[in-house]
Amino acid sequence: MSDPKTTLVRRTPWPQSVTAPIGTPLQPSVAYTAQDADALDALYTRQTTGFSYAREGHPNASVLAAKIDAMEGVQGGILVGSGMAAITAVMFGLLKTGDRVLGGSQLYGRSLRLMREELPRMGVETALADPTDPAAFTAAITPGTRLVLVEVVSNPTLRVADIHAIAKATKAAGALLVVDNTFTTPAAIRGIDVGADIVLHSVTKLLAGHSDVTLGYVQASDPAHQKAIYDTATTFGLTPSPFDCWLAERGLFTFDLRFERASSNAVALADALADMGPVARVLYPGRADHPDHARAAELLQGRFGNMVTFEVDGGREAANRLIRAAEDLPFAPTLGDVATTLSHPASSSHRALSVTERAAIGITEGTFRVSVGIEPQEFLLSAFGRAVGAV
Ligand SMILES: *Cc1c(COP(=O)(O)O)cnc(C)c1O
C-alpha cells in the first residue's frame, strides 16, 4: 500500500467505463505527457497530432474552433482569449514597421484605439475611412496598404459597408481584407462569401451568447498567414481558457435557434419603436427607412440580425428617465446575450469621442442601442412601451 500522502499528490487514473459521455469533456490540463522525446519531436514537427502545453493549444479550443470553422465554411481557425486578442494577433502577426493599415471609421471602440494609438506607437501607419462610402473608402486604399479592417454592420448606427466594392479594391491593391464578423455572425453573412482573406469574431458576443465567456476566433485563408497569426497568439500569450471554450461550445448548440428568435424579435421591436411617440428615429437595416436598406437587403438576404438602435429627443435627462424606467431590461454595454440589453453609446462605447465626433457618426445623448434577446415578443414590446413612455 502506498503512503496516503503519496496517493494524494499523484493523479488517480480516470475510471474505466464501457460507456462514453455524450457531453463534451472539459480538459483544463496545462501540460500533456508524451511517451518519449521522439513522440514530442513528431508532435512539434506536425507528423502526429496532439497537445503539449495549453498555451499552444488544447482540446476544448480545437472542438470550438472546428464548429466556428464550419459556420464560416473555412478550416484551421484558432481561438484566442478575446475578440481584441484576435484583432491583435492579426495585426502583430502580419504587420511590420512601415506598413499601412486602413480601417472602417465606425469600428468597435477598442479597435479604433488600436488603430489610433497602439499601431502608430509600433511604427505602423493607420488611416480610417467610411466603409459605407465606396468611393471614399477605396480611394483610401493607397499603395503600401497591407491590411484593411472592416465590420460589415457598424456599431451602433448599424450602417452597412459596401463590402463587395471594398473587397475588390483591396484585392486590386494587393492588400489583405480582414472582416470582423462579430455583429453580423456567419448566420447572416460569411467572410468567405464577401472575399475576406481573414475573418475574426468576438466569440464573447452572439456566438457564446450567455455573457459568461470572453473569447475570440480568427481564421486566415492563406496557411502561411494563419501560422504567423497562431505563432503571434502563442508567443504573446493570447491563450483561450479551456472552460470558456467549453462554455462557448455549449452556447453554440443553440446558436441557430437564438439567432432566429432574436432576429424576429428585433424586426418586431424596430417596427413597434417606430410607432412610439417619443421615438424620433429607429435604425434597423431591415426597415425600408434605413439609409443602407437596399445594400443590407442584398448582402444579408433577409437576415438583418438582432441589433436595433433608436433615438429619443430630450438629451441626457430624457435618456436617464428611459433607463430608469426600463427596469426589466439590463442597462449594460454588451451585446449578444440571451436576454435583451440596453446600451447608451454616448456614456459607454463612444464616450471617448467628443460631442462633435459623435454627432458626425449619428450618436446623440438620446441614442440607444438594443441587443435584442430571445424573450417572448409580448414581454419585449410592453417593457419598451413602459421605458419609452417615461420619456
Ligand atoms: C466586442 C467586440 C470586439 C471585442 O471583443 P472582446 O471579446 O470584448 O475583446 C471586437 N469587435 C466587435 C465588433 C465587437 O462587438
50-108: pLDDT as tens digits: 999 999 999 999 999 999 999 999 999 999 999 999 999 999 999 999 999 999 999 99
Cell numbers given for 57? 493549444
Q: In the prediction, which pLDDT does 297 show? A: 97
Catalytic residue among 32, 55, 67, 69: 55
In our burial notation (b when 16+ CB lie closer than 10 A, e otherwise), range 364-379 reads bbbbbbbbbbbbeeee
Average pLDDT for 280-299: 97
Cell numbers given for 134? 465606396
Q: In the prediction, which pLDDT does 353 show? A: 83
With a 6 Å cutoff on the Cβ, whether 82 touches ligand 1 is yes
Name which of 86, 97, 205 is nearest 149 in CA terms. Answer: 86
- What is the pLDDT confidence band of residue 1, given thresholds at 50, 70 and 90? low
**What's 295-344 look like in SS3?**
HHHHHHCCCCCCEEEEEECCHHHHHHHHHHHCCCCCECCCCCCCCCEEEC
Name which of 180, 158, 212 is nearest 339 in CA terms. Answer: 212
Lowest mean pLDDT among 154-158, 161-165, 291-295, 319-323: 154-158
CA 186 to ligand 1 centroid distance, Å: 15
Average pLDDT for 295-302: 95
- What is the pLDDT confidence band of residue 334, given thresholds at 50, 70 and 90? confident
Q: What is the mean pLDDT of the chain?
A: 96
Q: State in words which class domain 58-252 has.
A: alpha beta
Best CATH choice for the domain 255-389 from the list 3.40.1350.10, 3.40.47.10, 3.90.1150.10, 3.40.720.10? 3.90.1150.10
Q: What distance lies between CA 258 and its chain's CA centroid?
A: 16
- The pLDDT of residue 147 is above 80: yes
Contact between 73 and 97 under an 8 Å Cβ cutoff? The reply is no
With a 6 Å cutoff on the Cβ, whether 108 touches ligand 1 is yes
Average pLDDT for 332-341: 94
DSSP code, position 287: S
DSSP code, position 118: I
Cell numbers given for 108? 468597435
Helix 59-72 vs helix 242-252: crossing angle, to nearest 10: 40
Q: In the block, which residue shows the cell 480601417?
A: 103
pLDDT digits (tens, 9 = 90+) for 8-58: 999 999 999 999 999 999 999 999 999 999 999 999 898 999 999 999 999
List, in order, residues 6 or more apart from 4 with CB less than 8 Å away. none
180: annotated active-site residue: yes
pLDDT digits (tens, 9 = 90+) for 372-387: 999 999 999 999 999 9
Strands 176-180 and 145-151, by their bridges, are: parallel
Strands 307-312 and 279-283, by their bridges, are: antiparallel
Which residues of the chain does CATH 3.90.1150.10 include?
255-389
193: annotated active-site residue: no
Cell numbers given for 318? 430624457
Which residues of the chain does CATH 3.40.640.10 include?
58-252
- The pLDDT of residue 192 is above 80: yes
List for the chain the helix, strand, coil content (%; round to 5): 40, 15, 45
- Sign for the pseudo-dihedral over CA of 279, 285, 291, 294: negative
Q: In the prediction, which pLDDT does 109 show? A: 87
CA 363/CA 156 separation, integer angstroms: 8
Concatenated DSSP letters of 161-221: --HHHHHHHHHHTT-EEEEE-TTT-TTT--GGGGT-SEEEEETTTTTT-SS----EEEEES
Name which of 170, 187, 134, 183 is nearest 303 in CA terms. Answer: 187
pLDDT digits (tens, 9 = 90+) for 154-183: 988 899 999 999 999 999 999 999 999 999
Q: Which of 111, 202, 350 to mutate to test ligand 1, by most ligand atoms within 8 A of the CB atom?
A: 202
Cell numbers given for 101? 493599415
Q: Structure pTM?
A: 0.96
CA 248 to ligand 1 centroid distance, Å: 15
CA 83 to ligand 1 centroid distance, Å: 5
- The pLDDT of residue 2 is above 90: no
Q: What element of type H or E holds 86?
A: helix 83-94
Q: In the prediction, which pLDDT does 111 show? A: 94
Q: Which of 204, 206, 214, 307 to mutate to test ligand 1, by most ligand atoms within 8 A of the CB atom?
A: 204
230: annotated active-site residue: no
Q: What element of type H or E holds 127?
A: strand 125-129
pLDDT digits (tens, 9 = 90+) for 350-362: 888 889 989 988 8
Lowest mean pLDDT among 204-208, 252-256, 359-363: 359-363
Q: What amino acid occupies position 34?
A: A
316: annotated active-site residue: no
